[in-house]
Amino acid sequence: MASSFNIDFPGSSNQFVVTANSAITSKGGVFNGDNNKGMFTLDTPIGDIKGSYLVLSETESSATKIEVTITDKPFLVPIKKIENTIAQFLT
């Protein structure tokens, strides 16, 4: 079952892509996306987290609202934990 949440990123959508790509790939994950939408996978010791994102703000906005949808996660990991972890990656 997919779960979605929004994150406010303090920068442009281009800055979001650079930051998210770096944060996810530095942890051994895979990031594929652009300034509008994309997908990611992150390996954890108890299973993969897979999801997508959609940029809801204008491309050149100084702050960017992102909708993140988690499509697959380990059963034992609450969605709120994933949301908090992703938010920490992006700050």
Q: Hey, how many other C-beta atoms are within 10 angstroms of the C-beta on 43?
A: 12
Q: Which helix H or strand E contains 18, and what residues bound it?
A: helix 13-26
Rounded-to-integer distance, Cα 45 and Cα 70, Å: 17
Residue in the structure block whose two tokens are 């942890």? 27
Total domains in the chain come to 1
Residue 56's domain comprises 3-89
pTM here?
0.88
**CATH code at 14?**
3.30.310.80
CA dihedral for 62, 21, 7, 86, sign (positive or negative): negative
Instruction: Give 26-42 pLDDT, tens digit per residue.
Output: 989 999 999 999 999 99
Distance between alpha carbon 8 and the CA centroid of its chain, in Å?
Answer: 11
Whether 16 contacts 90, CB under 8 Å: yes
* Blockwise average pLDDT, block size 10, the chain, 91 residues: 90 92 93 96 90 88 90 90 82 66
